[in-house]
A and B are shown apart, each in its own frame.
Chain A
Amino acid sequence: MSGTTPEISAEGAVIPRDIADDAAGRRPRRPRRNKYRPVWEEKPSAVGQVTKFVVLSVVVLAVLFPLWTVVVTSLSTTQETISAGGLVVVPGDLTFNAYKQILSGGVVTRAAIVSVGITAVGTFISVVVSVLAAYGLSRPGSFGHRPILFVFLITMFFGAGMIPTYLLVSSLNLIDTYWALILPGAVSAFNVLILRNFFMGIDQAILDAARIDGAGEWRVLAKIVLPMSRAVVAVIALFYGVGYWNAFFNAMLYINDNAKWPLQLVLRSYVLQGVTLPGSGTGQVDVGTGAVTGMPIKMAVMILAIVPILVVYPFVQRHFTKGVIFGAVKG
């Protein structure tokens, strides 16, 4: 027997160690690493375990290391980045000056506000519209149920194409308006189907009971269905929200006026392409004035683009599997 050594009780039954400890009033031992291993599974070989550890560590580091250097560089002084030759790996003098500079008004501040606004308004519209559509489609007998479902499904398999969409947006006079970033992608059939599948999984008896008590469809949706589907709605909201926050191509297509640029376009021009950021000196190196320039500013803009995701992520993350699985089972 590998791993936890079970105790044999008086009756001869095998009692797991922790329960035996508890029964005997002993202080429970720290749980062993392999207490979850089923009894029939062999103990892994040392070589296998080391390999596994190394591979997984490399995977985790590959994600975390770039983020670490970006964070550290954004907090460093300009001199620090110059002597490091670019990105800083080992933190030296740390300062929040880069953040103070980009957030004290100017291009980046404005772009951040634009992005936050588009994300908030867009996500709200998308979630409301999708929940309504999904609930409507989840009622089997509802009017026009099948053809409408078909209308949604078709958009998943055949996209109209970039050119006609662009011409439509421009003939609706949406070019250089924020609506151009919200309306064309406001409803994703995929997300509607995820929601619909979840709503269909709710026990019909509960809904029928509410209806007998006199609740109309709106009330059933608001008081019963939504409270039961918080997790899935949160995941869908995150999917939409991330889409709006990260949207780069739509902005590039539809927003020509750079006073209206969202953060992703600013990131491309001033950080990726290295265009000088007006007033913040992303391009030139200006040592000695105390102002932070160059790399720290660039990296601070990158962090600004990541932070909102990091803030929301932990709250929604544990529901991902549910969202993705419902998405995989289409109907």
Chain B
Amino acid sequence: MTVPAVALLAVFAYVPMLGNIIAWQSYSPYQGFLHSPFVGWDNFERVFNNPAFLHAVENTLTITVFQLVFFFPVPIFLALLLNSVISPRIRTTIQSIVYLPHFFSWVLVVTIFQQIFGGAGLINQTLRSNGLDGSVDLMTNPDTFLVLITSQAIWKDAGWGIIIFLAALSTVSPELYEASVVDGANRWRRMWHVTLPALRPVIVLLLILRLGDALTVGFEQLILQRDAVGADVSEVIDTYVYYQGVIYGDWSFAAAAGLVKGVVSLALVLGANKLAHVFGESGVYKRA
């Protein structure tokens, strides 16, 4: 029964893994994988000596760190807040509303932001009709780009992110709260000593997964806005690989850059998981 799925994965996941061989070749589409000449580590040397690639790495890391600090805590905070809402009806209503944007495409999200924050958008239109200077264009401003893409990510996915924290909260035994009340804990101490420890494994798990994705920051989101804001702040590893390979046809170089990214991501996940074990959490997968 697993044959169709295995076949699909073999063709579309494993064959491309082998296809990474072109990173060590001087690949030309006319000669194909089999006949292109091998050039050793030349492509990787070119990648690491390339200032544009290094700049893309820098941008990627900046965006990841920024989102880790400003995006990651938002779902936790919202989950705690929502969990404290007592009426189940209000809670589920709010939940179904905040989950919704997760299912919108990035094209849609970026368009919505453009219609509201862009040069001709709703904010400027309101400013102008009140006689104020309505020429702030947040969509094309490189200085505020980090804040812009982070708020887009929050708008789209923070609501969805709370789902797993809410689930973890719902498994906390009420007896723990009762016991702590008997011991004289007020609401804040209960949150600190009961609620947050209950969330810790989930937080660690998500941090590890996030770390594995550290080099993959909102590819579609960035490629959609790269033209408007300029490559200087919006070029990340993925967009760089896309432009070098698909647009400029430097296949081997782009494949080498992509492979570097894949290997580093894998190392990050394995490393983070190891670290989680050291600190006594179960992490993504158990020790084999």
Cα–Cα distance between A89 and B28 once the two chains are bound (Å): 54
Q: Is the CB of B32 within 8 A of A171?
A: yes
Query: What's the nearest-Cβ distance from chain A to residue B277, in Å?
Result: 15
- Distance in angstroms between the alpha carbons of A299 and B115 in the assembled complex: 10
| B251 close to A157 (CB less than 8 A) | no
Interface positions of B from 88 to 116, Cβ below 8 Å from A: 88, 92, 94, 96-101, 103-108, 110-112, 114-116
Closest A residue to B225 by beta carbon equals A272
- CB < 8 Å neighbour of B163 from A52, A55, A168, A321: A321
Is B106's CB under 8 angstroms from A165's CB?
A: no
Say yes or no for B172: interface residue by CB 8 A criterion. Answer: no
Which of A70, A129, A183, A321 has most chain B Cβ within 10 Å?
A129
Within 8 Å of chain A (Cβ to Cβ): is B122?
yes
Q: Is B136 an interface residue (CB 8 A)?
A: no
Q: Mark B164-188, 1 if CB is under 8 A from A, else 0.
A: 1011000000100110010000110
In the bound complex, residues from chain A placing their C-beta under 8 Å from that of B82 are 56
B74, closest chain A residue (CB)? A59
Contact call A87/B105, Cβ cutoff below 8 A: no
B131 / chain A contacts, CB cutoff of 8 Å: none
For A201, list chain B residues within 8 Å (CB). none
The answer for the CA separation of A266 and B175 in the assembled complex, in Å, is 55
Q: How many residues of B contact A (CB 8 A)?
A: 92
Known contacts A33-B86, A38-B174, A87-B116; is-contact A248 B98 (Cβ 8 Å)? no
Contacts of A313 in B (CB 8 A): 96, 100, 103
Residue pair B17, A158 in contact (C-beta under 8 Å): yes
**Contact partners of B92 in chain A: CB under 8 A:** 318
Cβ-neighbour of B13 out of A69, A155, A317, A324 (below 8 A): A155
Which single member of B16, B120, B186, B224 contacts A86 (CB below 8 Å)?
B120
Q: Check: B195 CB closer than 8 A to any chain A CB.
A: no
A133 CA to B258 CA, complexed, in Å: 29
What is the distance, in angstroms, from B121's C-beta to the closest C-beta of chain A?
7
Which of B12, B92, B254, B285 gathers most chain A CB within 10 Å?
B12
| CA of A248 to CA of B221, assembled, Å | 10
- The segment out of B46-54, B56-64, B65-73, B237-245 that lies at the interface is B237-245
Is A59's CB under 8 angstroms from B9's CB?
no
Tell me whether B81 and A52 are in contact (CB under 8 A). yes
B12-A163 in contact (CB<8A): no
Other-chain contact of A161, B16, B87, B110 (Cβ < 8 Å): B16
Q: Shortest beta-carbon distance, A295 to chain B, in Å? A: 9
Interface size on A, residues (CB 8 A): 88
Decide: B159 and A63 in contact? CB cutoff 8 A. yes
Contact of A60 with B94 in the complex, beta carbons under 8 Å: yes
Given A40-B181, A84-B125, A86-B121: A163 and B245 within 8 A (CB)?
Answer: yes
B167 engages A324 (CB within 8 Å) = yes
Are B163 and A253 within 8 A (Cβ)? Answer: no
CB neighbours of B78 from chain A (8 A) = 59
| A168–B2 CB distance below 8 A | no
Known: A56-B81, A192-B5. A86 touches B103 (CB 8 A): no
Find out whether the CB atom of A167 lies under 8 angstroms from the CB atom of B22.
yes
Taking Cβ atoms with an 8 Å cutoff, the residues of A that contact B are 33-34, 36-38, 40-42, 52, 55-56, 59-60, 62-64, 66, 69-70, 84-87, 89, 128-130, 132-133, 135-137, 144, 148, 151-153, 155, 157-168, 171, 183-187, 189, 192, 217, 221, 242, 245-249, 252-253, 264, 267-268, 271-272, 299, 302, 305-306, 309, 313-314, 317-318, 320-321, 324-325, 328, 330
Sorted nearest first, the 5 A-B pairs with minimum C-beta distance are A164-B19, A160-B16, A133-B5, A246-B105, A161-B258
Q: Which B residues have a C-beta under 8 Å from some C-beta of A?
A: 1-2, 4-6, 8-9, 11-20, 22, 29, 32-33, 78, 81-82, 84-88, 92, 94, 96-101, 103-108, 110-112, 114-116, 120-122, 125, 128-129, 155, 159, 163-164, 166-167, 174, 177-178, 181, 186-187, 202, 205, 212, 219-220, 223-224, 238, 241-242, 245-246, 251, 254-255, 258-259, 261-262, 265-266, 269-270, 284-285
